[in-house]
Each structure stands twice: as C-alpha cells, then as structure tokens.
Structure 1
Amino acid sequence: MQRLIDGKFWAMKQIQKGNECAALSTWRQDNAAAPQNLVYGEGGFPGAEVLKALLAEQGNLCAYTLKLIDETSAHIEHLKPQRKCREEDDQREAANQVPRREDVHWNNLVACFPAPNPVAPPGYGAVKKDKWWPLSGANGFVSPLSADCEPRFQFEPNGSMKPADATDVAAVETIREIGLDDGRLQELRRRAFMEMGVHPKSERPLKSPTKVRQLIAAWLHRDGNNKFKEFCVPLRAVALIHLAKLEGRSNTGAA
C-alpha cells in the first residue's frame, strides 16, 4: 500500500510491460526480408490487434490520464514520438549503424485516450503531448513504464496532480507537456472522488472505515473484466486521506 504523507498521496500508476503481442511478432517476421516495411503503419501493420493487446496489458486505462478507454476511444501512442524515432534511425543509417526501429518496439507503445483524429481534441494527455520529447532525452520524461514513476507525483482531493518534489524538473515538465494538471482533467478526478463518497463534499460520504479500506484494496486490482477502476490511483489517494479523517488520525500512516 502506498503511503500517505503530509496529507498527500505519492503515486503514479506504473505499466508493467510484458511480451509483445503475437500479431506484432508475426508482422515483424513477415517483413524480415523487407526491412523498409518495418515502420509503424506500413507492411500491413496490425494496428487493431496491437491496440487490443495494449488495452489488455493496461487494464483499459489510458497510460497518461488513467481514463477508462476501449478500442473506440483510444489510439496507439508512442512514448518516444514516431518522428523522433525515425530521425534517430535516419542518423544511424547515415552513419552505417543498425536502426533501432523504436517506432515499432513494444516497449515504446501504449494505449491512450482519445481515438485517432478526434473531432474535439481534449487538450490534455496524448493530444497535448503530441511530438514533445525533452532535449535531455528519456531522462527528462517520467514515463508510465518507469520503475520510479510512482513516488514522483502526488494527487490531492481537489483533483490536482503535482510533482512530489518541486525541484524534479522531469516531473514538472512531464505534467506540463502532457497537461496532467489541466483543469478539465482535475474536474473529472474530483467528480470520481465525489461519486465514490471519499471527497469531503460528497453528497453521500462513506462513513465506515471498513468500507473505505475495502475499496482501497479493490482499486489495487482488476475487475472480472480485466479492467482497473477509472482513476484508481487518485481514488486511492483521496480515500486514504478520507480514511485518516474517519479514524481521527493525522495523515502519517499507511492504510
């Protein structure tokens, strides 16, 4: 269980990457003799199958926003942008080096909100990130795959998301460039807190510490459909704060 410290919950949900999906492996094998086809979107790239596998891997949560997504509301996102991957490969080939083809590497692919080419782009998440890649490279971006991503961010009851350490430049830039503290996203989180009864101003606040503990435990896991609870990480954050108040504790312990 993550810790509640000074009234704040330190966490960002880490994605545990597994083996690449079978369809992607087959596509790679089928195009082995035609390396020019080993580019995202080319050579019959199995986009639908890859997206479905990514959704299953992530429990149907957007890699950046933790919104609940499915095949109709998500797209395949490149953590390192496609353009950057291809620019680097062009440089390698010019130097007679082997290209890395990161634009089709499983560990560079995640599922994100929204669906491709949205009519009304949300202005946060993958749409906001777009082609951003820090000048310092991977060290300047807190990836949802990073083992250390969890303690580098914090959620608060008003729905805001901030760096746990204000001097963590990568965390600051990640939040800004992906719009993770966008007011609209904050409001979606706050509504989730209200609906679950763990926000101070909920119409029907939970009053049973046992019930709150049960929810906190449940939100750590996938449901019967292999999905995580939407906004499960910030929900656990404010639930821990709510639990501390119910039990008359200072915000100093773990649930």
Structure 2
Amino acid sequence: MRSIDKGPEPAELSAWKARNAATPRHLRYDGIGFPREAVRRALLLEQRHLCAYTMQALLTAKQCERRGWHTGFACHIEHFLPQARQIAAESIDYRNMLACHPPSMPGVYCGYGAQHKAAYDPAGQAFVSPLSADAASHFAFHGDGRVLGLSEAGRNSVRVLNLNHPALVHARQAAISHALCPRANVSLSPQAARKLAAAVLHAEGRERLPAYCVAIAQAALKYAEREERREARRAAAPR
C-alpha cells in the first residue's frame, strides 16, 4: 500500500451535488446521474493508475479502448467506509472513494483487496487507510513477494485485504525480480538499486507509477544493503 495524496473532488461531482441539493434523497452513490466516470478518471489520475490496496496496475482509458472495453472496466470505485453502513453522505464523499482492482466487470472475483474486504467497516478499527501519510510504513515487503504487517493496523490490513493471496505474492515477486535484474544474469549495482528505490516512488509529473512500487523500493534497499555488506567483507578480507 502506498500513501495517496487526495485531491479535490472533480467538478462534475460538485456540480451534481449542487443540482440535487434540493432533493437530498437523490444525493446517494446510486442516485440519478451520479458522475461515476468523472470520479473514476479523477481517482485513477491521483492514484497514478495503481490499485489503492494492492498496488496492482489499473488500466488507462486508452488500454480499455484497445481491448474494446468502456472506461468503466479500468477499475471499480471502492468506498473505504463501506456502503453497507447506509450513510448517504459517506457514499458520495470523494475522500471516501478509491480506485481498486478488479475492473467493474460482472462475474469477476479475485479473492483479495477490495473484494475480500467487502463490507468490513474499518471505522474505529486498527486498519491502514491509503490516505494516511505513513501508509507504507505499516508493511514490510520481501523479495519473495510476501508482505508482513509491522503494526496492529498493518497486520489487520494484510488479513482483511488478503494481501498474501498467491496471485499477489507471485506478481510482486515477479515485479521485484525484474526490477533488480532487468536483463538476464545482470543484476543492479548497490548504487543503482538505491537510485531505483527512490525513483520508483517518485510520482511528480508521471501519470503512472510501476505496479507494486513500494514493494520494489523496499526490496531494492534491502538488496543494496546486502550487496554493500558483501563488498565491505571482500574489501576487508586478507589478500
């Protein structure tokens, strides 16, 4: 999980709220004319096309178009405080909305992330919000793709979101391996690994971040430290 810098709600959402201010019963997520696509686009941009919970890559509008899909298939809109709470104001609060895997396609189930969280209510619970500034610090990612919670909130989030689902573990491991060994039998130097750890998290001016970027950054730092210790031992060894 990475921290999301939440921006202002899209203008289309503000306008929809204003138009329906006189009829509060319409001010619901399933209300008539709710600007779902505008909200989805805004979420994707501020999340750099990464799932808020799993950091999987989410499709862009162009990628959807190439597949012959409408843009709604890029992701589904998740409510951090679930709609099961039946609080209408929360359902249309932009700060309560996140873009998540899987796409909003009928019959699709993945067994982790937002779908596994389902109607779980994190209010008052030890649970990591992607909107918290220290979201990544609650998790330790390993080179083999596993993730461990470093706090009660982190451990609870790993369990509720099923973040060690085999599909996620395999995908994270593959992303880490490719990042640290971009060419066959050619691994990064410690210096290059440290540069990678910083660059992979740098979002300024980038529409997309690499999938599992926090996992890659943590693994790259561990790799650099390990290789630096190895180099130090070699240098200290008698010749």
Q: TM bucket by the smaller chain?
A: 0.7 to 0.9
Deviates more, 1:27-36 or 1:147-156: 147-156
Q: CA deviation at 1:35?
A: 0.8
Specify every segment of 5 or more residues in structure 2 that has no aligned partner in the other structure, as ranges: 60-70, 232-239
8 Å contact kept, 2:190–2:228: yes
1:65 maps to 2:46: no
Q: CA deviation at 1:223?
A: 7.4
- Residue 206 of structure 1: which of 187, 200, 209 is its match? 187
8 Å contact kept, 2:102–2:108: no
Alignment of 1:29-178 (within 5 A): 29-70=18-59, 71=71, 72-84=73-85, 86=86, 89=87, 101-134=89-122, 137-165=123-151, 168=152, 170-178=153-161
TM norm structure 2: 0.84
Q: Distance in 2 between matches of 1:104 and 1:181?
A: 31
* Structure 1 counterpart of 2:10: 21
- Say if 1:109 and 1:19 are closer, same or farther in 2 by CA, change over 3 A: same
Aligned length: 219
- Residue 243 of structure 1: which of 219, 224, 234 is its match? 224
- The alignment partner of 2:169 has SS state of helix
8 Å contact kept, 2:180–2:193: no
Alignment of 1:212-223 (within 5 A): 212-222=193-203
Deviates more, 1:37-46 or 1:203-212: 203-212
- Which amino acid in the other structure matches residue 232 of structure 1? C
Q: Distance in 2 between matches of 1:73 and 1:33?
A: 33
Relative to total residues, which structure has the larger helix share, 1 or 2? 2
8 Å contact kept, 1:123–1:179: yes
Identity between Structure 1 and Structure 2 (%)? 36
Structural RMSD (CA): 2.2
Q: Distance in 2 between matches of 1:182 and 1:67?
A: 13
